[in-house]
């Protein structure tokens, strides 16, 4: 029955109307703002603390809706962790390191002969920065286009309606808001006993800015961030070892079969793995970093030597200096700001979205919440389907999934069918000489409704969008299988996997 499958999209209904009849504001430059702030500002319809993905999307959406908006960001550039030191720069390095690695190792069979191939790490980093700077300036343009006031500084609550701002260029001001949206994001979780210096002991921030390729790198944590950065530096010549406490890579959300296959592929690429292993201590010295490990359940110790250690054990909400204690906002045991189904804190006009509250710490999840939160303010309702939030690991091949995995379905006692199709049987993958991986469907045994889709293979990050749409609309595997897919495309593997789940694939 459908009730045993994934529930339909969660729709949040607002219990109290919010006045959204407003005039559009004037966009203020930093210089004009400092002069104008000599007296207290007029009350804005919305004040946003944080200009990352959650904050800037909310600001643009609110501006489009006609609200007067101020967005406070201390970094000095918009886009937050994702755009400045996360998703965007890491994908630049992943793409360009893959091209470098492919030219070195995968051109002869393609009929391409090359001469001396050299790595210019400085230029690779410049290409990354060009991408980042262009996108951050693009967001500033969108702020101006939608009449959003951009305040560069650090914000903290003075009271329930007032945010005090220490301006980046000196001085301070305060801004009042009828509604306030907290979108302060997250930061890398530190490892006890290791001091982060972003040179020898690094987080993802340091991993996208190394000045030379380390001979040896140890990555603590085999989740998505750790594996992406392991891929970059392994391709560029580093000897990389990944230490993971769990028995699989990719984190608990990744399907176990997909994780096992991904690990096998990455091992062939030269990355070493130590699973079911915990790091007990670390010591950074002038000659590198020593990491002590032992079996997760206890056992013989082992010491790993590395030039650089990447700490990638997850992220935690960032709320330091926000002054939430001044207004009584609650946090849970993980430091997440507590909200209700309408993103509201205990103070009804103060909402929270993105990494600093519940849910997966993903940029696209933050975007969805940003849109929904503004719809609550302006339309009295909002919508986010947390059952249809995709995850992507941008290694090569890519890994992507949406919905539930097999271990979750088994734990819930849900009866299901499994169907898969390998890229080795896909015509486009074969012509591209890129055939590792498969597409896997999980569907309710009685209704054929799709419960989860898992992909490891070329273009998985793009292909999963079709899976998200299918899950959002409650599609069955037969619905997908009877939808025409262009030939020859990698997406035909998606169609064939759906066919294999409710019937039989044609080409395998």
Residue positions forming the annotated binding site for NAD(+): 221-228, 244, 314
Task: Report the binding-site residues for FAD.
Answer: 91, 155, 184-186, 355, 361-364
Residue 36 DSSP SS3: helix
CB atoms under 10 Å from CB of 432, counted, come to 15
The DSSP string of 409-467 is HHHHT--EEEEEEEGGG-HHHHHTT----EEEEEEETTT-BEEEEEEEETTHHHHHHHH
Q: Are 100 and 235 in contact (CB under 8 A)?
A: yes
Phi and psi (nearest 5°) for 5?
-85, -175
In this structure, is the dihedral angle defined by the CA atoms of residues 440, 445, 449 and 451, taken in order, positive or negative? negative
Rounded CA-CA distance 481/382 in Å is 32
Within 13 Å, how many C-alpha atoms sit on residue 352's CB side? Answer: 26
Task: List all residues 6 or more positions away from 229 whose beta carbon is below 8 Å from its beta carbon.
Answer: 90, 204, 207, 208, 219, 310, 312
5 class by beta-carbon count within 10 Å (0-12 exposed, 13-18 middle, 19+ buried) = buried
Please report which helix (H) or strand (E) contains residue 34, including its range: helix 30-36
Please give the C-alpha separations between residue 112 and each of 106, 107, 214, 270, in angstroms, as whole numbers.
9, 5, 29, 24
Tokens 């249809």 belong to which residue?
Answer: 388
Tokens describing residue 17:
């109307």
Task: Report the binding-site residues.
Answer: 91, 155, 184-186, 221-228, 244, 314, 355, 361-364
Residue 260 DSSP SS3: helix
Annotated catalytic residue, options 161, 349, 485, 487: 487
Tokens 């012509």 belong to which residue?
Answer: 431
Q: Are 290 and 200 in contact (CB under 8 A)?
A: no
Task: List all residues 6 or more positions away from 205 whose beta carbon is below 8 Å from its beta carbon.
Answer: 85, 188, 198
**Comparing C-alpha atoms, which of 229, 299, 245, 298 is closest to residue 85?**
229
Task: List all residues 6 or more positions away from 482 whose beta carbon is below 8 Å from its beta carbon.
Answer: none
Query: Is residue 487 among the annotated active site residues?
Result: yes
| C-alpha dihedral (124, 130, 133, 135), degrees to nearest 10 | -110
Q: Which residues are catalytic?
A: 487
């Amino acid at each position: 029955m459908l009730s045993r499958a994934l529930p339909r999209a969660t729709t949040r209904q607002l219990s109290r109307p919010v006045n959204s009849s407003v005039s559009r504001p004037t966009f203020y430059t930093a210089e004009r703002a400092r002069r104008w702030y000599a007296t207290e500002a007029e009350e804005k319809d919305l004040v946003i603390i944080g200009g990352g993905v959650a904050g800037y999307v909310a600001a643009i959406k609110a501006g489009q809706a006609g609200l007067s908006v101020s967005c406070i960001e201390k970094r000095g550039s918009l886009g937050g962790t994702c755009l400045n030191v996360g998703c965007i720069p890491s994908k630049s390095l992943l793409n360009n390191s893959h091209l470098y690695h492919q030219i070195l190792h995968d051109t002869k069979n393609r009929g391409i002969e090359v001469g001396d191939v050299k790595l210019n790490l400085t230029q690779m980093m410049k290409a990354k920065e060009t991408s980042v700077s262009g996108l951050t300036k693009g967001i500033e343009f969108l702020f101006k286009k939608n009449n959003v006031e951009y305040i560069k500084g650090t914000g903290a609550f003075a009271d329930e309606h007032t945010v005090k701002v220490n301006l980046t260029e000196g001085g301070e001001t305060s801004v009042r808001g009828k509604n306030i949206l907290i979108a302060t994001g997250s930061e890398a979780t530190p490892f006890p006993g290791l001091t982060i210096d972003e040179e020898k002991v690094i987080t993802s921030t340091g991993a996208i800015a190394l000045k030379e390729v380390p001979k040896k790198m140890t990555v603590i944590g085999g989740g998505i961030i750790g594996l992406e950065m392991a891929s970059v530096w392994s391709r560029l010549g580093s000897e990389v070892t990944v230490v993971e406490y769990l028995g699989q890579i990719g984190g608990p959300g990744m399907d176990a079969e997909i994780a096992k296959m991904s690990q096998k592929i990455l091992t062939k690429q030269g990355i070493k793995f130590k699973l079911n292993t915990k790091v007990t201590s670390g010591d950074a010295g002038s000659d590198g970093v020593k990491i002590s490990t032992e079996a997760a359940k206890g056992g013989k110790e082992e010491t790993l030597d590395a030039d650089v250690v990447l700490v990638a054990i997850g992220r935690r909400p960032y709320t330091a200096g926000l002054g939430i204690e001044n207004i009584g906002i609650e946090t849970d045991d993980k430091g997440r700001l507590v909200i209700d189904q309408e993103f509201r804190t205990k103070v009804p006009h103060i909402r929270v979205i993105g990494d600093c509250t519940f849910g997966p710490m993903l940029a696209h999840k933050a975007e969805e919440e940003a849109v929904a939160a503004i719809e609550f303010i302006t339309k009295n309702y909002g919508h986010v389907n947390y059952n249809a939030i995709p995850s992507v690991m941008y290694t090569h091949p890519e890994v992507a999934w949406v919905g539930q995995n097999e271990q979750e379905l088994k734990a819930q006692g849900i009866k299901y069918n499994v169907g898969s199709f390998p890229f080795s049987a896909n015509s486009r993958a074969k012509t591209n000489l890129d055939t590792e991986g498969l597409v896997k469907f999980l569907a309710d045994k009685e209704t054929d409704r799709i419960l989860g889709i898992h992909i490891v293979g070329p273009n998985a990050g793009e292909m999963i969008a079709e899976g998200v749409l299918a899950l959002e609309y409650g599609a069955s595997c037969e619905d997908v299988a009877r939808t025409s897919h262009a030939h020859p495309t990698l997406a035909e593997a998606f169609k064939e996997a759906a066919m294999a789940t409710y019937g039989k694939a044609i080409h395998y």
